[in-house]
Amino acid sequence: MKEDCIFCKIVKGDIPAFKVYEDEQVLAFLDITQGTRGHTLLVPKKHVENTYGLTEEDAAALFKRVPKIARGIKEAFDPIGLNIINNNDEPLQSVFHVHIHLIPRYPSDGMVLTTLDRQDEYGKEDYEAVRKAIKEQLD
């Protein structure tokens, strides 16, 4: 629990939220913004700022609940698809209590969340340099 954290306050019940799921370790509630109908946030009850700070156990506890919430949203609203997003650090992240966005998608919903195909910009050496840079940090 972090005193000035809005999601800790929601977990504690100090401020209201539209809760859709809760157990000992996680809480899921509607994003106040509703980027699309059913946009839901999944958070750990334990305060951790973002993905960089999660232990493997924290991550397992959080991410293992994702399919359940995703299925619930799919069943409820029959979207054409669903994006799962997790923002880390400013300026992407605005609430510094780690959370996963589950965003159901509908035809012409106006959300722009897509990856660009950059295959024509990358040669074998570029992939290899990128691979090496990341792998060096993981070995």
Q: Pattern 1-20, binding to ligand AMP, x per CB under 6 A?
A: -----x----------x---
Total number of residues binding ligand AMP (CB under 6 A)?
10
- What is the closest distance, in whole angstroms, from the C-beta atom of residue 80 to ligand AMP in the complex? 21
Closer CB to Zn ion, residue 47 or residue 105?
A: 47
State phi, psi for 102 to the nearest 5 degrees.
-115, 115
**Out of 97, 99, 102, 104, the residue judged to bind Zn ion by CB under 5 A:** 97
**DSSP letters for the chain:** --TT-HHHHHHHTSS---EEEE-SSEEEEE-TT-SSTT-EEEEESS---SGGG--HHHHHHHHTTHHHHHHHHHHHH--SEEEEE---STTT-SSSS--EEEEEE-TT----------GGG--HHHHHHHHHHHHHHH-
**Out of 95, 105, 106, 109, the residue judged to bind ligand AMP by CB under 6 A:** 95
Q: Pattern 19-38, binding to ligand AMP, x per CB under 6 A?
A: ------------xxx-----
User: Does 70 interact with ligand AMP (rule: CB under 6 A)?
Assistant: no
Catalytic site residue 99?
yes
Q: Identify which of 46, 40, 42 has the alpha carbon closest to the alpha carbon of residue 27.
A: 42
Stretch that binds Zn ion, among 72-80, 93-101, 120-128, 129-137 (CB under 5 A): 93-101
Could you list the active site residues? Answer: 99
